[in-house]
Amino acid sequence: MKRYYLAIDIGASSGRHIVGWREDGKIKAKEVYRFPSGVQEQNGHLVWDVDALLSHVKAGIAAAKAEFPEIVSLSVDTWAVDYVLLRGEEEVCPVYAYRDSRTEAAIPKVHEILPFAELYAKTGCQFQPFNSIYQFYADKLTGRLEGVTDFLMIPEYLLWKLCGVKSREYTNATTTGMVNAETGKFDPEIISALGLPPIFPKLQKPGTVLGEYEGIKCVLCATHDTASAVEGIPMDGSQPYISSGTWSLLGVKTPKPITNTASRAANYSNEGGVGYNRYQKNIMGMWLVNELQKELCSGLGFAEIVNAAKESCCDALIDANAPEFLAPKSMKAAFDTATGGKLISIGDYFRCAYRSLAESYAKALAELERNTGKQYDKLYIVGGGAKNEFLNHLTAKATGKRVVALPIEATALGNLKIQMEADL
């Protein structure tokens, strides 16, 4: 008899419920529910509506059960770094989103106490202005940590609301900038130096069964979506990968963290995998394209946008990872400023975006090969961006690698794979 499992995979712009099962030695999957996610503006800040997320999570579970009554287990993965503070059993609202600018004042204060070189040597975690460590310190500066007894990363928060059990999953915790690269535990020296409350307990591994929701086991997958995505790639050996979505995550599996000066200079991160280290880098992704599409041509589909980009002869490039593209009020204006007004047609904007992404991939991959001391011949691409043949072509040309594009729900497949292994 087939056993069915439910992956709840939530990205920064949409979420999906995917039921999976084993058939003929492979994982088969079917999407049963999809819903919008996304940040909201509230009092000048960017926040998550976690109540709406939870409502959709439960609605999707009901839809899955209606079609597949015998679901064995479920798990939730989301983006990293964001969390919900708790005072007892009560949420501290709002729940800030990583694109919010509230960490600007906190970052230099953290680095006065713990210079980034020291932080990187301890954690191997890249610098990003949204890293949880800076968010927590911003909370301290504004008094939000007063009386706080707990915190849960977003997927663990949703699982808690389903099964009543609190957990902190290892792969997600390694994105906080507070987990020691050698011990795999929250670093007590970092927590003490920053004067943070004692709310950072023992971490749990993917595959841990937490409890039940309506008779369905709630299991920890690799709750950081990129960690699950890497588990979902049918990879030939250990080759570089790009998980291409709102962000592009480029990396490779390594036996242990690489925390040398060159890695810090290139801003490579060491994050938890399922039995390995993920040596990877956050690179800008489809955010550029999505925001341009909303602003310039909301009525056009992406096939039309790609065709327009192909027809353009524009050779302008931007630095796709420059801070002015993180959360601009106008993405078009940001492109105009960066290119000196060279972009004329819609095709020019999208050609510039796609070429700039491909060049950023090439630069990051060259850094990866220098820092690991290895050369690779393939580059696996999964996620939404893998469906874009034009971007894949540009990436192959820029990197000189054989691009293996797998337009699969790799994150959901990795989520399902971990549940299935926990069920053995």
Catalytic residue list: 225
Phi/psi of residue 48, nearest 5 degrees:
-105, 140
Sorted by sequence, the CB contacts under 8 Å of residue 48 that are 6+ apart come out as 37, 39, 40, 82, 94, 95, 96, 97, 154
Q: From the CB of residue 138, how many other CB atoms can be counted at a distance below 10 Å?
A: 22
Q: At what angle do helices 302-311 and 346-372 cross, to 10 degrees?
A: 90
77 φ/ψ angles, rounded to the nearest 5 degrees: -125, 150
β-bridge mates for residue 73, sequence order: 5, 217
Considering only CA atoms, which of 179, 182, 194 is closest in space to residue 109?
A: 194
> Residue 7 phi/psi, 5° resolution?
-100, 125
Which region holds residue 423: left if phi is over 0, alpha if psi is between -120 and 50, else beta? alpha
Query: Which DSSP string do the residues of 101-116 spell out, in sequence order?
Result: STTTTHHHHHHHHS-H
Q: Which of 65, 43, 61 is nearest to 53 (CA)?
A: 61
Cis check for the bond before 94: say yes or no (omega within 30 of 0): yes
